[in-house]
Amino acid sequence: MDLGERLKLTLFGASHGPVVGAVLEGIPAGTPVDLPAVQRELYRRRPVGRALATKRMEEDLIRIESGVEGGRSTGGPIVGVVENQDVRRAPYRELEDVPRPGHADYPARVRFGTAMDLSGGGIFSGRMTVGLVFAGAVARGLLAPHGIDLLAFTRSIGGVEASEAALDRPMTELRSAAAATEVSCPDPEAGPRMIEEIERARREGDSVGGIVEVRADRVPAGVGEPFFDPVESVLAHALLAIPAVKGIEFGAGFKAARMRGSEHNDAFYVEGGKVKTRTNHAGGVLGGLTTGMPIVARVVVKPTSSIAKPQESISLSERAPRQLVVKGRHDPCIVPRAVPVVENLTAFVLADLLLQGGYL
Amino acid sequence: MDLGERLKLTLFGASHGPVVGAVLEGIPAGTPVDLPAVQRELYRRRPVGRALATKRMEEDLIRIESGVEGGRSTGGPIVGVVENQDVRRAPYRELEDVPRPGHADYPARVRFGTAMDLSGGGIFSGRMTVGLVFAGAVARGLLAPHGIDLLAFTRSIGGVEASEAALDRPMTELRSAAAATEVSCPDPEAGPRMIEEIERARREGDSVGGIVEVRADRVPAGVGEPFFDPVESVLAHALLAIPAVKGIEFGAGFKAARMRGSEHNDAFYVEGGKVKTRTNHAGGVLGGLTTGMPIVARVVVKPTSSIAKPQESISLSERAPRQLVVKGRHDPCIVPRAVPVVENLTAFVLADLLLQGGYL
Amino acid sequence: MDLGERLKLTLFGASHGPVVGAVLEGIPAGTPVDLPAVQRELYRRRPVGRALATKRMEEDLIRIESGVEGGRSTGGPIVGVVENQDVRRAPYRELEDVPRPGHADYPARVRFGTAMDLSGGGIFSGRMTVGLVFAGAVARGLLAPHGIDLLAFTRSIGGVEASEAALDRPMTELRSAAAATEVSCPDPEAGPRMIEEIERARREGDSVGGIVEVRADRVPAGVGEPFFDPVESVLAHALLAIPAVKGIEFGAGFKAARMRGSEHNDAFYVEGGKVKTRTNHAGGVLGGLTTGMPIVARVVVKPTSSIAKPQESISLSERAPRQLVVKGRHDPCIVPRAVPVVENLTAFVLADLLLQGGYL
Amino acid sequence: MDLGERLKLTLFGASHGPVVGAVLEGIPAGTPVDLPAVQRELYRRRPVGRALATKRMEEDLIRIESGVEGGRSTGGPIVGVVENQDVRRAPYRELEDVPRPGHADYPARVRFGTAMDLSGGGIFSGRMTVGLVFAGAVARGLLAPHGIDLLAFTRSIGGVEASEAALDRPMTELRSAAAATEVSCPDPEAGPRMIEEIERARREGDSVGGIVEVRADRVPAGVGEPFFDPVESVLAHALLAIPAVKGIEFGAGFKAARMRGSEHNDAFYVEGGKVKTRTNHAGGVLGGLTTGMPIVARVVVKPTSSIAKPQESISLSERAPRQLVVKGRHDPCIVPRAVPVVENLTAFVLADLLLQGGYL
């Protein structure tokens, strides 16, 4: 039910309940908790200020109920709560009987019956990712002193991809380039075209998917727990729990299927006494353990399932066809909002693995 | 350290130690354990009989030390052991100092020092997958009475892909078609070309990667554990622990990045009182819960990292360049051998999720 | 970090922080949650109204932040929070350097340093048991429909013991008899003498210990998880986590050391088609599994460590002797307040084991 | 299903199956594993050589299948197997229908049906403790370099108790005194009387119980995991999983019920710069954390349930009374055999807690 081994994350609340929140256990006593920085990560996740996103307005101010005193963790569970302010339940009533295509409505009804309120997605809502960002942002307090830095960014939206050249830059440059666009894409040429792609989808009552890439620099070599918690497994487990993520790949990823071993194998060399590899097709992970090279992963985010276009569905009670027009306020593309979620959740996973390996 | 929640799998042994084995806990007392069927699954994993694979010969006869009596589980841990017969340590000595590119050697040395014997990959070897097949094959005894059927097959090797048409067939047809080729590909046209691709790689002292697809039919709707064990997360966790797997996708997978919501959303309809979807871009999973449609996942298997060609590496002790020629006996393509591993490990994961959800 | 397998309990907050609370996961969707009954159990734990107890006044009103809608669980985590109202930190300042004998102060400083605020015991305070009562009271909603009933009561305080005769009565009679005294003892003769014992200790600036017994009726046979979660292990794990509990015994308990097998073994017989035993020296558990007879356990509660009398301690910073006079407001005997904690925590443990065994 | 957090122990096999064994995970790579010392601990558990015990003869030679090379752990799971040699199933047939009083037969039938072979107790047999001794003996390899030493001994059998004076000695003296008697009691006066007590019980076709005490010296202060793995909880969980153990107490234990706080509180003082307490009523644990003083725990072992005397039982199939005469070979008192189990299992628990706390 929880995520993590040495760190444990539990999410609570629901999209249209009074709050969403998270309990984070295992942060060692005395770890600095930079609450303004945590709040900034939560702001990155908000749609506010994005012309492109949902009209639902939430302040997403975090309230710490437990576990932090004087800017440091006490060693007990850290509980963060965000009030849901802009809650409107009415638009979701119909969905109790007519499941939205592409959404959890149908299987959730089968499994949990009507006890579970699915307004706004209930516990399946993207709003639950508030807790993922919160936990990861706190966990970064464990990574920063070791020089470990992370960045996620939008790699593609619909048919528009960032160019390899634009992405082949140091993390600090990528960070500022990504921050300069509304879609968190570090390619200044592709960014505006991505925005057009999203606006076109919105105008057509439709939505569009994309790919988020995350990188982590300066993770020491040897991190990961062979059978059964290799780095890829643990990261995939976490990132695929983000709503709408449907796949993940590391390094060369699916391209490895077409590669020869002589091409995919990253040759070792020594530079300044440090072991490095000339390429990084492994994405910084060999045999489930980090190599000391940057960790590189990519996830695919499916197009938002809630769209304005009429869709073919059914009445569950009558077992009969129904045309469905989804009301409510929805993002035509959640890829940019997934960026800080992927980044901070990756931080959480790495901090947990570093703790397990005795690195922290 | 273990895999699973209600079922628990632990692997032990090492590639060139006396045995490899597995402990499987949580199989309810009285579950039928069809040992000949388990042995057949292990045979599928063997290179024996494949002209294309490693020359290492292992009988892979399973010995049950505990947990099965009279063809049924006792409720205690089931321990299966396979003796390693064809063990040759000599070829691996050099690797203690000169890590093989693409292999776990380097990070494992950093993490575990020289205490861990890495002959033949040690605990990172593909030979450890014996235990995965064993556990999954036993777990199928929980699925079969519910009509749940699984099949994995080779979807592509190098540049050769099975055609969509050849794969758009019922599982029983796919199974016999896949069994008819040495590469476990159900496309009779692509299979021979895949074999050529592998032989070409071998002749050139190289290796080649590919893609394995797995499907599971008749899994009931609602299976999966929201936050944090959705079906995709749990399957990804398990399958990415298979050596050489570097990515996973569900349903439309990475193609979803380029799709519109109106296209990706699978429309609901009712047939014979049963809720179905017209397409299956979701791969049988929405909101982390099964939909009742077939589960479809694909994993990418990187080209075997042990290749005959000379490679650029380093001496760890001298921090100096070394050319490495890997000796030992290796598969030029492990994709076909990964097929029964993916299939049986998927069975293990589904049985565990079904137990968690109270379905079994 | 959490308690439980299928149910998971996490406590948060601290004695003199803004709140104490608990997260309870695993309550199946649709389980009735009787909030007034939960609140009543919390009231039983309060010192308010007891002439004998601490002067600290807390309302202990529970606020549900998540997981309950319309009197039923949603299937998500249930979060309950109680505000700390009567917080006074000043009395505890001195303790940062001079540890109280019999209290966690010293080892907590060694382990967690000064990052952990130990005011009022911090996370080691008896106040954290609010969360235990809350979780157990919610879990009773799973037990009641199966006729399972629980009762804890005070068995002894100091030298005063309830008589066997007074305790050899049906649970409903014991319950009302226990409710009739301030010390929760069902023996109307012993109760007043216990109160005298406590008042004597208080007058002398001292404290006194005692024994709490808990019984559970109508738990079905077969509950428990052999290696390593037998009923005794799991109950002991939970109950020994209650501050001040230093031992536990089941059935005949430590008296078994002096018994012969022919005396301790409970003879089987059949009554009304049901298997019973003539005695219950096993305390309702054989081989770690319930027998269907009442579960009977006893825990010893040490005398409150915070006493008014001057005590011999040390200054940690100066490594020199210090006389310590503990200020603050403390119970001279916490045995009666431990009663609802033991009772509800036992309910939590049994509900978890019943879920694990597929009984619920 | 497993025991432990950072260390994980799984037991497999059964009393009258081909083997009993254990899987021990989490021993860091490179830890010395002194196999002769492990074997010696297993010999301590054997009845062989004890005139007083069962006639069943087992060599109990441990075979390591995995995880140890060249006297050190590899970091992978350590699997130890002991063959069952002297297996006789016939005596147990009758028990399938007529449960032995005081034994797991009845609840195990209710829970697991007839799939579970209960010959010789099956997985509930004392023979499973082979794995506990094995795991603990290996775990001692983690404790010894830190000077942590452990000893368990017989404190009482039936009505015969060791004197306080005889037990108030350094651990090394206690160890040699205990080794000098067949009953592992360090009191040279009480030992022979305990043997008489056991022989009297045997002659009468009966059995007798007793108390085992365990002490651990030089465990550093601060070990334990507040909510929910305090030292008492974790030790109790483990030790109550030993068949026949029905209670546990720490330090003053149940005597604390009659004590005043001023008496029970252990006064702090400083000696040689080290913080100590004048008494040790806490048994080395305050607030669930170790104090640096010796850990002291006592468990009660009930009289062996399998006795020669005729007993009142029932036929489960006929729901009718049956007189039962238990055949097979049984110890009239298992207290001395429980001694090395308690001692080594305590070592396992402490090693696990030390690992969790980052002490190792």
pLDDT per residue as tens digits for the range D7-18: 999 999 988 788
pLDDT at A71: 94
Q: Which residues of C touch A76 (CB under 8 A)?
A: 12-14, 116, 122-123
Least reliable range by pLDDT among A109-113, C233-237, D340-344: A109-113
| Closest among B267, C295, D339 to A312, alpha carbons compared | B267
Determine the average pLDDT of the residues in C14-35.
92
Question: Is the Cβ–Cβ distance between B300 and A249 less than 8 Å?
Answer: yes
Confidence check: pLDDT of C49 > 50: no
- Closest Cα of chain D to C197: distance in Å? 11
**For position C336, what pLDDT does the model report?**
96
What chain D holds in terms of domains, given with CATH numbers, is 8-356 (3.60.150.10)
What angle, rounded to 10 degrees, do the helices at A335-356 and A129-143 form? 50
- At residue A48 the predicted structure's pLDDT band, cuts being 50, 70 and 90, is very low
Judge: B227–A291 Cβ closer than 8 Å, yes or no. Answer: no
Nearest residue, CB atoms, A75 vs list C19, C30, C115: C115
CB contact under 8 A, D10 and B10: yes
In this complex, the chains that touch D, judged by 3 or more CB pairs closer than 8 A, are: A, B, C
Task: Tell me what percent of the residues of chain B surpass a pLDDT of 70.
Answer: 92
Nearest to C261 among D241, D269, D307 (CB): D307
φ/ψ of D110, rounded to 5, equals: -60, -45
Give the residue, C48 or D59, on which the prediction is more confident.
D59
Helix (H, G, I), strand (E, B) or coil at D268: strand
What share of chain C has pLDDT > 70, as a percent? 92
Share the mean pLDDT of chain A.
92
Nearest Cα of chain B lies from the Cα of A69 at a distance, in angstroms, of 28
Q: pLDDT class for D49, splitting at 50, 70, 90?
A: very low
* The token pair that represents B223 in the structure block: 């299976």
What's the gap between Cα C132 and its chain centre?
Answer: 8
- Pick C29's closest partner by Cβ from A77, A81, A115: A115
Under the banding of pLDDT at 50, 70 and 90, the label for residue B120 is low
What kind and span of H or E run contains C233? helix C231-239
Structure tokens at D128: 């499973």
Mean confidence (pLDDT) of chain C:
92
| Whether residue D1 has pLDDT greater than 70 | yes
What is the tens place of the pLDDT at every residue in B35-44? 999 999 999 9
Cα separation of A207 and B305, whole Å?
40
H-state helical runs in D124-279: 129-143, 164-167, 171-179, 190-203, 231-239, 261-264
Q: Model confidence over C283-320: pLDDT tens digits?
A: 999 999 999 999 999 999 999 999 999 999 999 999 99
CA–CA distance, D37 with D19 (Å, rounded to integer):
21
Q: Taking residues A133-160, what's their average pLDDT?
A: 97
How confident is the model over D59-71, as a mean pLDDT?
A: 92
pLDDT band per the 50, 70, 90 thresholds, residue B86: confident
Q: What gap in Å lies between CA B146 and CA B207, rounded to an integer?
A: 40
Specify the DSSP element, H or E, that contains D255.
none
Q: Which of A48-52, B293-297, C130-134 is predicted least confidently?
A: A48-52
What is the 3-class SS of chain B, one letter each residue?
CCECCCCEEEEEECCCCCEEEEEEECCCCCCECCHHHHHHHHHHHCCCCCCCCCCCCCCCCEEEEECEECCEECCCCEEEEEECCCCCCHHHHHHHCCCCCCCCHHHHHHHHCCCCCCHHHHHHCHHHHHHHHHHHHHHHHHHHHHCCEEEEEEEEECCEECCHHHHCCCHHHHHHHHHCCCCCCCCCCHHHHHHHHHHHHHHCCCCECEEEEEEEECCCCCCCECCCECHHHHHHHHHCCCCCEEEEEECCHHHHHHCEHHHHCCCEEEECCEEEECCCCCCCEECCEECCCCEEEEEEECCCCCCCCCEEEEECCCCEEEEECCCCCCCCCCHHHHHHHHHHHHHHHHHHHHHHCCCC
Least reliable range by pLDDT among B91-95, C129-133, D307-311 = B91-95
Q: Is the pLDDT of residue B6 over 50?
A: yes
φ/ψ of residue D318, rounded to 5: -100, -5
In one-letter notation, the amino acid at residue A58 is: E
pLDDT of residue B48: 45
Q: What is the pLDDT at residue B160?
A: 98
Counting residues of chain D whose pLDDT is more than 70, the rounded percentage is 92
Q: Which helix (H) or strand (E) holds C161?
A: strand C160-161
The strand pair at A72-73 and A68-69 is best described as antiparallel
Residue of chain D whose Cα is closest to the Cα of B116: D74
Segment B277-291 shows an average pLDDT of 98
Q: For B30, which of D18, D66, D113 is closest by C-beta distance?
A: D113
Per-residue pLDDT reduced to its tens digit, C53-102: 555 567 889 999 999 999 999 888 999 999 988 766 555 566 679 999 99
10 Å CB burial of residue C345 (0-12, 13-18, 19+) is buried
Q: Tens digits of per-residue pLDDT, B214-236? A: 999 999 999 999 889 999 999 99
Q: B94 to chain C, minimum CA–CA distance in Å?
A: 43
Say if CB A239 and CB A346 are below 8 A apart: yes
The pLDDT, as a whole number, for residue B145 is: 95
| B298, B269 contact by CB (below 8 A) | no
Beta carbons of A212 and A347 less than 8 angstroms apart: no
Nearest of A277, A337, A27 to residue A153 by alpha carbon: A337
Using alpha carbons, select from B264, B283, B163, B278 the residue that is nearest to residue B216: B283
- B chain contacts of residue C358, beta-carbon cutoff 8 Å: 358
pLDDT > 90: percent of chain A? 81
CA-based torsion, A31, A33, A34, A38: positive or negative = positive
Gap between the Cα atoms of A302 and C30, Å rounded: 31
**pLDDT above 70 for B55:** no
Those residues whose C-beta lies under 8 Å from the C-beta of residue D33, and which sit 6 or more positions away, are D27, D68, D71, D72, D73, D78, D138, D141
Contact yes or no for D230 and C247 at CB 8 A = no
**Contacts A281 to B, Cβ<8 Å:** 302
pLDDT of res. C59 = 81
State the residue for tokens 């055609």: B163
**Contacts with B15 from chain A: Cβ below 8 Å:** none
How do residues D25-44 score in pLDDT, each as one tens digit? 999 999 999 999 999 999 99
Contact B1 D26 (CB under 8 A): yes
Residue type, D63: R
- C228 preceded by cis ω (within 30°)? yes
Helices H / strands E in chain C, number of each: 9, 17
Q: What is the pLDDT of residue A49?
A: 47
pLDDT band at D52 (very low <50, low <70, confident <90, very high): low
In b/e form, how buried is each residue of A95-114, taking b as 16+ CB within 10 angstroms?
A: bebbbbbbbbbbbbbbbbee
Give the number of beta-carbon pairs within 8 Å between B and D.
125
What's the gap in Å between the CA of C121 and the closest CA on chain D?
9
Average pLDDT over residues B170-179: 97
* DSSP assignments along C15-64, one per residue: TTSSEEEEEEE-PPTT-B--HHHHHHHHHHH--TT-TTS-S------EEE
pLDDT band at B57 (very low <50, low <70, confident <90, very high): low
* Residue C61: other Cβ atoms inside 10 A: 12
Q: How far apart are CA B264 and CA B278, in angstroms?
A: 11
The residue-averaged pLDDT of D78-83 equals 96
Strand pairing class (D274-277; D268-271): antiparallel
Across the range B8-15, mean pLDDT stands at 92
Task: Look at residue A78 in the predicted model and tell me its pLDDT.
Answer: 97
CB nearest D307 (choices: C105, C262, C300): C262
pLDDT digits (tens, 9 = 90+) for C212-222: 999 999 999 99
CB contact under 8 A, A29 and C2: no
Average pLDDT of chain D is 92
Alpha helices in A204-282 (DSSP H): 231-239, 261-264
Q: Which residues contact C182 (CB under 8 A, 6 or more apart)?
A: C50, C51, C52, C191, C195, C336
Which pLDDT score, from 0 to 100, does residue C94 have?
A: 67
